[in-house]
Amino acid sequence: MKKSARAFWLSSPGHGEIRRVDLPEPAEGDVVVRALYSGVSRGTETLVFRGQVPASQHTVMRAPFQEGDFPGPVKYGYLNVGVVEEGPEDLVGRTVFCLYPHQSRYVVPAGAVTRVPDNVPAERAVLAGTVETAVNALWDAAPLIGDRIAVVGGGMVGCSVAALLARFPGVRVQLVDADPARAGIADALGVGFALPEDALGECDLVVHASATEQGLTRALELLAPEGTVVELSWYGDRRVALPLGEAFHSRRLTVRSSQVGTLSPSRRAGRGHADRMALALELLADPALDALITGESAFEELPEVMPRLASGEIPALCHRIRYAE
């Protein structure tokens, strides 16, 4: 008899449900993972939940183990931590991270999981996918010692970037967000905080992650001449207007994109996706990153929780999902 599991599916935009799914028989080299925790990436996943993935991006935005297609029905997600129950001897019993949707058990190739270091709690390891995005962003941004840096947008990705920048020697880092409640998170991460109107200017680098037109405009305003904005926001099907007149050209400003789906060109020669993920998990040994997990719910509650996350009723960064034994 086939083994089964429970999975969260977006049945249609704005509506989710838990379905029982049959697990495939593991082939040689596969692992069977029992989920401990998964994480809801509030930015991307809530856009998917609302059905706001543009048709032109349906292929690009597919998660590694997604089933179904946008706008739905679709099984989507990519922050899953569990224990290997079956598979190669060196993995059985180990806690692993996988870019898998919200599902209680799953079968994947052993190469699709990354061991969680012993000094990283499983509860924190759900942040690995987002910290990986931050690592790639900083490979693209290439900050230098002594740089003046702002991170505009104190969501899950922006806070991850700020947390890593806090480790750079001699830099001035300020997290900029319209929500004054983000000041406490900035303090926990060891960086400064400012509301947009109070942010320090003359920045060499601004990392933008607010996913708002106003945030990107403010990011440009904060730059010193010849400064760079690294754009991490994904806007779904929304159009964004930018003030590229005025002093944009005379100040020789740069806006460049960064996206975790491809490795930064500066690191492609020597590192692969597995190396980047392993590095992200090593960086999660820092307990300060617990500040990014702002809530937790049982897996069974996910159909009721997702609409509240999508509407902003639950003002989460990363919302953790807990699986029963």
**CATH architecture, domain 4-127+284-322:** Alpha-Beta Complex (3.90)
Torsion angle, alpha carbons of 108, 17, 2, 37, to 10: 40
pLDDT at residue 56, as a whole number: 86
The single residue listed with the structure tokens 């806006």 is 255
- Confidence bin at 265 (pLDDT 50/70/90): confident
Q: 221 φ, ψ to 5°?
A: -65, -25
More confident: 77 or 316? 77
Q: Map out the domains of the chain as residue ranges.
A: 4-127+284-322, 130-257
Residues whose CB is less than 8 angstroms from the CB of residue 275 and which lie 6 or more positions away in sequence, other chains included: none
Which residue type is seen at 41?
S
Tell me if 281 sits within 8 A of 113, measured CB to CB: no
**Is the confidence at residue 148, as pLDDT, over 90?**
yes
Q: Mean pLDDT over residues 148-168, rounded?
A: 95
* Residue 183: closest CA among 175, 171, 91, 225: 175
Provide the percentage of residues in the chain whose pLDDT is more than 90.
81
* pTM, to two decimals: 0.90
- Confidence bin at 48 (pLDDT 50/70/90): very high
Q: Mean pLDDT over residues 255-261, rounded?
A: 85
**Is the confidence at residue 43, as pLDDT, over 90?**
no
Please list the alpha-helical segments (H only) found in the chain: 42-49, 122-125, 128-141, 156-165, 182-189, 213-221, 273-283, 302-311
Q: 139 φ, ψ to 5°?
A: -65, -40
Question: Which CATH superfamily is 130-257 part of?
Answer: NAD(P)-binding Rossmann-like Domain (3.40.50.720)
Q: State pLDDT tens for residues 190-235.
A: 999 999 999 999 999 999 999 899 999 999 999 999 999 999 987 7
| Residue 18 token pair | 């838990």
